[in-house]
């Protein structure tokens, strides 16, 4: 199995946000800074997708995602929020772990496989606890990268 998406260390971080829109803005800014994308376009696409239905899938996790023409391969960013934020999640629980995914416009199956892999990772109880309790952004990245490497092997 191959790696389904790119996640750079700088794309992982702990941030402060006080609303769903602030979370999406932080995520768009992270994608723009780390991957050289247009922040406004990323935010527009994430908001468009969110308007179709919340990407908060429960247990304090959201997976905002979108497809963008300028993207050549799926890429991810991960934000741990300093305090949980209401996200209209399926279980009405506020979100504290946000895993963003951007894929090429025509990446139908690839995008779905990447979303499924992220969803599996975030549903794992041990992983969820480890991400909540990680002492630093470097530790967050290591936890996620280890799963990505294991699943790709």
Q: Supply the residues annotated as catalytic.
A: 65
CA-closest candidate to residue 45, choices 55, 33, 34, 58: 55
Query: Nearest 5°: phi and psi at 10?
Result: -70, -15
Distance of CA 80 to the CA centre of its chain: 10
CA-closest candidate to residue 141, choices 1, 8, 4, 3: 8
CA-closest candidate to residue 143, choices 132, 126, 131, 125: 131
Q: What DSSP string describes 69-80?
A: TT-SS-EEEEEE
């Amino acid at each position: 199995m191959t790696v389904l998406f790119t996640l750079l260390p700088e794309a992982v971080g702990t941030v402060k946000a006080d609303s769903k829109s602030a979370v999406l803005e932080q995520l768009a800014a992270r994608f723009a800074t780390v991957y050289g994308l247009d922040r406004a376009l990323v935010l527009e696409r994430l908001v468009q997708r969110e308007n179709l239905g919340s990407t908060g899938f429960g247990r304090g996790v959201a997976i905002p995602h979108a497809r963008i023409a300028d993207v050549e391969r799926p890429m991810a960013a991960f934000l741990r929020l300093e305090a949980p934020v209401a996200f209209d999640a399926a279980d009405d629980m506020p979100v504290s772990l946000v895993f963003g995914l951007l894929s090429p416009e025509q990446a139908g199956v690839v995008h779905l496989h990447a979303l499924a892999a992220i969803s599996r990772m975030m549903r794992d109880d041990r992983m969820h606890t480890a991400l909540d309790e990680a002492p630093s952004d470097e530790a967050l990245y290591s936890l996620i990268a280890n799963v990505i490497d294991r699943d790709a092997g």
